[in-house]
């Protein structure tokens, strides 16, 4: 047997100077494409890549996670290294220059930033209305199997759907709390049977979790009454696009062979009106819990799709 001709040669350290820019950039694009393919089962094709001034490195498409027979398409631009972003305690920060460069296009771009030190990939969905400043993104922006739902949510904001609950007027003629509660409970039971559809999150389960949360003993009577009225109009309002959507809480944990992500979404509808002594604008709020689980060894799982599971459950609805 021949002796090794590399074994005793000094091992290389990672180089990140200007001479390696092209090779490192190409490697980052290949790495990002491979992560997207594995995480969400996307089909990918190369865009302009090394052409200066072009803003599309990868073109991705995949099956919509909650709309049957629908495919989503999104464009990717890959960045890596400290010139474009930096790790922070709970995620990453992308610099203003990246945001401004991407905003010069007429469409949304999914920026993938590669953390070379740890070989982690983060995504950020940038559209022409994104603020021109450095942006922070949490660990929920790591490229993981959860990304298939996140990209669909980000794209939903551009759907041709009525927004904000426009044209809906909250009113309740009955003043007897028992009657109002009985009507709300019947409506809530209907939702438990049929579920609720939200265009930017998908099908939402209605369970006892929401009822118990809204009508817990520690909540004021005034706020309980507002939730009872809100329930009456929930199906009509949640079928609109929210005026704003944000994540109030996001936690990761693990159990057995699975990783879990638990998020609380807050959907705000600002075009709803309330009928009182006079008609006035109000803010209608829906809170939804999303939990996703996927195998810890997802990069080595040849049947990943069947092991990625997601639930959406109503937590509360109210107006203020």
CA distances from 13 to 16, 139, 197 (A): 10, 28, 52
178 & 308 share domain: yes
97 & 233 share domain: no
CA distances from 309 to 25, 69, 138 (A): 34, 19, 21
The strand pairing partners of 62, in sequence order, are: 72
pLDDT, tens digit (0-9, with 9 covering 90-100), for 120-141: 999 999 988 889 999 999 999 9
Query: What is the reported pTM?
Result: 0.92
Q: Domain ends where: 156, 182, 197?
A: 156
Range(s) of the domain holding residue 312 = 169-319
For residue 52, pLDDT beyond 80: no
- Could you tell me if residue 151 is inside a domain? yes
pLDDT, tens digit (0-9, with 9 covering 90-100), for 67-84: 999 999 999 999 988 889
- The 3-state DSSP class for residue 257 equals coil
Eight-state DSSP code of residue 241: B
303 & 180 share domain: yes
Report the DSSP pairing between strands 169-170 and 284-295: unpaired
- Could you tell me if residue 4 is inside a domain? no
Q: Which two tokens stand for residue 114?
A: 């590669």
H or E element, residue 311: strand 309-319
- Could you tell me if residue 286 is inside a domain? yes
Query: Which range has the worst mean pLDDT, 44-53, 142-151, 285-294?
Result: 44-53
Query: Which range has the worst mean pLDDT, 46-60, 69-83, 184-198?
Result: 46-60
Q: Which two tokens stand for residue 134?
A: 């450095």
111 & 219 share domain: no
239 & 309 share domain: yes
Locate tokens 């990209």: which residue? 151
Q: For the residues 257-263, what does the mean pLDDT come to?
A: 98
For residue 184, pLDDT beyond 90: yes
- Could you tell me if residue 10 is inside a domain? no
Residue 16: φ, ψ to 5° = -135, 30
Q: How many domains does the chain have?
A: 2
Q: For the residues 171-183, what does the mean pLDDT come to?
A: 87
pLDDT, tens digit (0-9, with 9 covering 90-100), for 97-118: 999 988 888 889 999 999 888 8
Residue 191: φ, ψ to 5° = -65, -35
Dmax over CA atoms of the chain, in Å, equals: 94
Q: Domain ends where: 129, 156, 183?
A: 156
122 & 56 share domain: yes
3-state secondary structure 171-188: CCCCCCHHHHHHHHHHHH
141 & 241 share domain: no
CB contact at 8 A, 114 and 104 = no
Q: Domain ends where: 90, 122, 156?
A: 156
- Which domain CATH number covers 50? 3.40.1350
The DSSP string of 281-309 is: E--EEEEEEEEEEEETTGGG-TTGGGG-E
191 & 151 share domain: no
């Amino acid at each position: 047997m021949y002796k090794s001709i590399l074994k005793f040669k000094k091992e290389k350290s990672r180089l990140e100077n200007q001479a390696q820019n092209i090779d490192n950039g190409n490697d980052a694009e290949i790495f990002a494409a491979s992560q997207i393919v594995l995480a969400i089962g996307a089909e990918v094709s190369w865009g302009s890549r090394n052409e200066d001034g072009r803003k599309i490195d990868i073109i991705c498409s995949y099956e919509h996670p909650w709309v049957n027979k629908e495919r989503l398409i999104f464009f990717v631009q890959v960045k890596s290294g400290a010139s474009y972003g930096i790790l922070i305690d709970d995620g990453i920060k992308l610099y203003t220059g990246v945001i401004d460069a991407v905003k010069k296009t007429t469409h949304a771009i999914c920026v993938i930033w590669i953390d070379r030190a740890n070989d982690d990939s983060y995504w950020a969905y940038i559209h022409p209305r994104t603020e021109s400043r450095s942006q922070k993104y949490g660990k929920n922006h790591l490229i993981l199997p959860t990304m298939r739902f996140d990209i669909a949510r980000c794209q939903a904001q551009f759907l041709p759907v009525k927004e904000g609950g426009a044209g809906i007027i909250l009113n309740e003629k009955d003043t007897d709390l028992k009657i109002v509660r009985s009507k709300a409970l019947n409506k809530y039971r209907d939702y438990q049977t049929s579920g609720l559809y939200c265009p930017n999150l998908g099908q939402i389960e209605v369970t006892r979790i929401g009822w118990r949360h809204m009508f817990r003993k520690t909540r004021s009577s005034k706020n309980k009454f507002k939730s009872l009225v809100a329930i009456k109009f929930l199906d009509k309002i949640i079928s609109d696009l929210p005026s704003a959507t944000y994540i109030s809480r996001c936690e990761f944990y693990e159990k057995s062979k699975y990783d879990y992500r638990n998020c609380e979404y807050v959907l705000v509808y600002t075009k709803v009106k309330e009928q009182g002594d006079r008609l006035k604008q109000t803010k209608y709020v829906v809170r939804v819990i999303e939990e996703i689980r996927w195998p810890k060894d997802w990069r080595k799982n040849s049947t990943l799709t069947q092991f990625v599971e997601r639930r959406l459950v109503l937590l509360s609805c109210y107006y203020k």
